[in-house]
Amino acid sequence: MHEPSSKDNYEYDIALSFAGEERFYVEIVAKELKNNDIKVFYDEYEKVDMWGKNLHDHLADVYSNKALYCIIFISQNYANKVWTNHERRSAQSRAIRQKQEYILPARFDDTEIIGLDDVTYIDLMEYTAYEFAELVIKKLGTSDKNQLSSRLREYVPKSVKFNYKLDFHDLKILEGFLDSRFRYRAISKISNDVAMEEGILRKRLNFLNNKGLVDIIARPKGNKWAITNDGKEYIDYYYHDLDESSDSFYFGD
């Protein structure tokens, strides 16, 4: 592994740049890094520090100067937002000055981001948030100090009840059901929330239905979809913050 310079020179080991729509994945990564004593810039951890500051200048300083590495979580949502593009440009300015690896791209989809086409990336469709956090820990050269729960290591890729891992887009669909105040949801509403064309969404919903994670419900104004108890359990299993001291976590028979 090649480090651009000593970690002691920076306020943060890692700065995370992402679109708000991908927060549920990124937050897990941030928590795991923090639990491993990695100094991470994640907006939710910085609310008090950023209070009252000129946000444009502060973020430019963070992404240009204050982190050893910057992880950019690439997605269509990321490409379309003003603030993420500001963060990206600040990070790229640093990368150009440094002439060594600084930006670590991770992709939710195939969206093109200016200036990152030739930078090696991680495909997030292949990793759970916990597994991706482990990659970051290894990149920082601190894998010997990895405090990721031993139960979590076994549980996440080998769920007792669910012997498969959904991809990011399917997880986002399930998350949408939990975030909605309505129990039954029309496909048009789901399509708007997850920014997915209805034809593709219908195929994904049918897949989730075959897995028993969503149901199609006949309603007076047309068929609607609803998350099942198994769907809720899957989300809980996938994102549960495991506590090794707790006896409440269920592993099945």
pLDDT band at 220 (very low <50, low <70, confident <90, very high): confident
**Structural domain contains residue 249:** no
Residue 8's pLDDT is 66
The mean of the pLDDT values for the chain is 82
The CATH number of residue 200's host domain is 1.10.10.10
User: Same structural domain for residues 213 and 94?
Assistant: no
How many CB atoms sit inside 10 A of residue 121's CB? Answer: 15
User: Same structural domain for residues 18 and 103?
Assistant: yes
Residue 28's pLDDT is 85
Residue 247's pLDDT is 37
Note the pLDDT tens digit of each residue in 37-89. Answer: 899 999 989 989 888 999 999 999 999 999 999 999 999 999 999 999 999 99
At residue 68, the 3 state secondary structure works out as strand
Residue 242's pLDDT is 39
Q: Are 63 and 94 contacting, i.e. CB atoms less than 8 angstroms apart?
A: yes
Note the pLDDT tens digit of each residue in 11-47. Answer: 999 999 999 888 888 988 998 899 888 999 999 899 8
**Structural domain contains residue 177:** yes
pLDDT band at 253 (very low <50, low <70, confident <90, very high): very low
**Structural domain contains residue 158:** no
Structural domain including 205 reads 168-238
Rg of the Cα atoms in the chain: 20
pTM equals 0.65
Residue 65's φ and ψ, nearest 5 degrees, are -130, -25
Q: How far apart are CA 134 and CA 145, in angstroms?
A: 11
Q: Which of 100-114, 184-198, 235-249 has the lowest mean pLDDT?
A: 235-249
**Structural domain contains residue 2:** no
User: Same structural domain for residues 14 and 52?
Assistant: yes
Strands, E assignment, the chain: 12-17, 40-41, 67-74, 103-107, 122-123, 214-217, 224-227
pLDDT band at 240 (very low <50, low <70, confident <90, very high): low
User: Same structural domain for residues 137 and 12?
Assistant: yes
Provide the Cα torsion 78, 57, 39, 6; round to 10°.
Answer: 110
Note the pLDDT tens digit of each residue in 127-148. Answer: 888 889 989 999 998 655 555 5
Residue 241's pLDDT is 43
User: Same structural domain for residues 140 and 190?
Assistant: no
User: Same structural domain for residues 124 and 213?
Assistant: no
Rounded to an integer, the average pLDDT of 149-172 is 63
Number of structural domains the chain divides into: 2
User: Same structural domain for residues 93 and 174?
Assistant: no
The residue type found at 221 is K
End position of a domain, from candidates 86, 116, 148: 148
